[in-house]
Amino acid sequence: PAAQAFSSAAIHTEPYPPWFFLFLYKFVDFLLPNGIPLLPSMVISVLIVGLVVLMLIPFFENSKLMYISSRKFWTWVMSVLIYSLIALSFWGYLDPGVPVPSSEQFEVLGIPAIILAAVIYIIGKMKKPKKAEVASPQTPKIGPTTVLGTAVTSLLFAGSFGDFLIKPSMIGLMILPILAILVYHFVSKVVRYMNYRGSNAFTSSSASGIPFTKKMAFFAIPIILVVSIILMVLMYRIPSVGIESTYAGIDLGTILVLWGYAINLYHYIYYVKD
């Protein structure tokens, strides 16, 4: 057992997290290719992107086909995620607090990810679906790359914009237009796809028009996005250590709750039939 908290013996005790945070405890030991440790903002950004992708997977891949060959990419993503959580948890328990160079990261996480990709690809080739959905060439569609690109570029733009407001710099001024172009590129594809889905849904609905509740939900989603960006900017201004770090956790939890509501509103607009 560890020493009692706030006692003199606890000063010389190395802090350790609960067992369910061991993977995160090891992840912060990772070093960049140039040997610099990961910054707290980088760790938070990776966790946020991972959580967003995990929450949106039911919307990314909602096909009725249950074969691996029809969803090889997302099967690989979830397999790598499960393996990484298990490997990092054992790694953090057996070798805590030891910096990990990029070469060792590739050996433990990169090589198994490549092996999993090969296995899933081979299994997908061996077992093909009996009936595949053929999309019309005029039908706008989005793939996993577009969805991931939209999520990642939007979060990078929001984080870079918040960092630029706090600490303006020439590098930030040069990065923001590039990220804005990427966000426009990916978001425009998603908007065209959503408009197509929405027009089909509304055409098949009753002649009474769009319900008022769906109109409210449609305008609530961008409002939630703006509020989330404001909260994200405030979160970066709160110290990541000390007593005030609790407010950063509350801020992050509020952002995730708002994103959850936004996902529910999106599901209500495009999937719920009135």
Question: Is the model more confident about 56 or about 221?
Answer: 221
Q: Which helix (H) or strand (E) holds 220?
A: helix 212-237
Give the residue carrying structure tokens 């996005």.
Answer: 225
- The alpha carbons of the chain give a radius of gyration, in whole angstroms, of 22
Q: How many CA within 13 A on the CB side of residue 12? A: 2
pLDDT in tens, 72-99: 888 888 899 899 999 998 998 888 888 9
Residue 229: its pLDDT value, please?
81
Q: Is the pLDDT of residue 4 over 90?
A: no
pLDDT in tens, 14-31: 666 667 778 888 888 898
Q: How confident is the model at residue 207 (pLDDT cuts 50, 70, 90)?
A: very low
CA 129 to chain CA centroid, Å, is 29
Q: How confident is the model at residue 1 (pLDDT cuts 50, 70, 90)?
A: low
- For the question of whether the overall pTM of this predicted structure is more than 0.95, the answer is no
Q: Is the pLDDT of residue 47 over 50?
A: yes
What's the CA gap between 191 and 183, in Å, rounded? 12
What's the CA gap between 169 and 163, in Å, rounded? 9
What's the CA gap between 262 and 221, in Å, rounded? 5
Q: How confident is the model at residue 205 (pLDDT cuts 50, 70, 90)?
A: very low
Q: Is the pLDDT of residue 69 over 60?
A: yes
Mean pLDDT of 50-66: 70
Mean pLDDT of the chain: 76
Give the residue carrying structure tokens 């009725």.
Answer: 64
What's the CA gap between 219 and 211, in Å, rounded? 13
Task: State phi, psi for 31 to the nearest 5 degrees.
Answer: -110, 145
Q: Is the pLDDT of residue 186 over 90?
A: no
Q: Is the pLDDT of residue 139 over 60?
A: no
Q: Report yes or no: 74 and 60 within 8 Å, Cβ to Cβ.
A: yes
> Which residues, including other chains, have CB under 8 Å from residue 133's CB and lie 6 or more apart?
63, 65
Q: Which helix (H) or strand (E) holds 246?
A: helix 245-271
Question: Is the model more confident about 121 or about 205?
Answer: 121
1 vs 5, 16, 94, 224, CA distance in Å? 11, 12, 17, 45
**3-class secondary-structure state, position 259:** helix
Of 17, 84, 95, 8, nearest to 47 by C-alpha is 84
